Amino acid sequence: MPKLKELLSEFMGTCFLLMIVVGSGIMGQNLSEQNILILLGNTIATGTGLMVLIWIFMKSSGSHFNPAVSLIFYLSKQITALQLIGYILVQILGAISGVVLAHYMFNLDLFQLSANYRSGMNIYFAESIATFGLILTILRVKQLNQILVAPAVGLYITAGYWFTSSTSFANPAVTLARSLTDTFTGINIENVFYFLLFQFIGAALAMFFNKMIDESQS
């Protein structure tokens, strides 16, 4: 059974992550009409905020905040099946809560559906690349020094905003929750399934690639 501190940490961490992602996007829209400036603000807030959140909750839950990460940790036998289920549930609930709270802080309708279409095989492929890179970053850096995972992930996600056509969601809970905001960071519900599919494909390939590296070094 997952411990209460683990579930609370995953809920709170994912909740704050979505407040940062969505809230910084809304703030950017309020301050500028130029997409490049909005994206830049969104990127800096997300990368730095995620780094801090990982450090905060690393000891209490492992700071997954991401069903794809939790699945990989389950497949590598670092968490149990019950922990996996519990983590994913609170990650999704936390992510949705974060979106609602971001809307409230900016005096917007609490519940929305995004009209922002992010479709096309190139964009879906970009999500597999983004997630592959994220999982590989976590798995490889963790072997060096666990304390370095936070800045490594923050920096990778910062880069991912700019080198992927999807702006690097790389997280199923984030993707689901962002379908509930009709703001800068939103994604139309029709695109969510394909994002999730390619995210899990990217995660699985990263795990396989990491295993190949480990075996080649042994």
User: In the predicted model, what is the mean pLDDT of residues 145-173?
Assistant: 98
Q: Is 63 helix (H, G, I), strand (E, B) or coil?
A: coil
Return left, alpha or beta for 107; rule: phi > 0 is left, psi -120 to 50 is alpha, else beta: left
**Domains present along the chain, CATH in parentheses:** 4-217 (1.20.1080.10)
Whether 114 has a pLDDT exceeding 90, the answer reads yes
Confidence (pLDDT) at 217: 80
Going by the DSSP 8-state scheme, the letter that residue 146 receives in this structure is G
Alpha-carbon distance values, 213 to 138, 144, 146, 152, 209 (Å) = 14, 14, 19, 19, 6
165 DSSP 8-state letter: T
| C-alpha to C-alpha distance for 142 and 64, rounded to whole angstroms | 13
Q: Model confidence over 60-101: pLDDT tens digits?
A: 999 999 999 999 999 999 999 999 999 999 999 999 999 999
Mean pLDDT throughout 115-126? 97
pLDDT of residue 1: 83
96 and 180 Cβ atoms separated by less than 8 Å: yes
Is 218's pLDDT higher than 80?
no
Confidence (pTM): 0.97
> Which residues lie closer than 8 Å to 132 by C-beta, 6 or more apart?
202, 203, 205, 206, 209
pLDDT band per the 50, 70, 90 thresholds, residue 136: very high
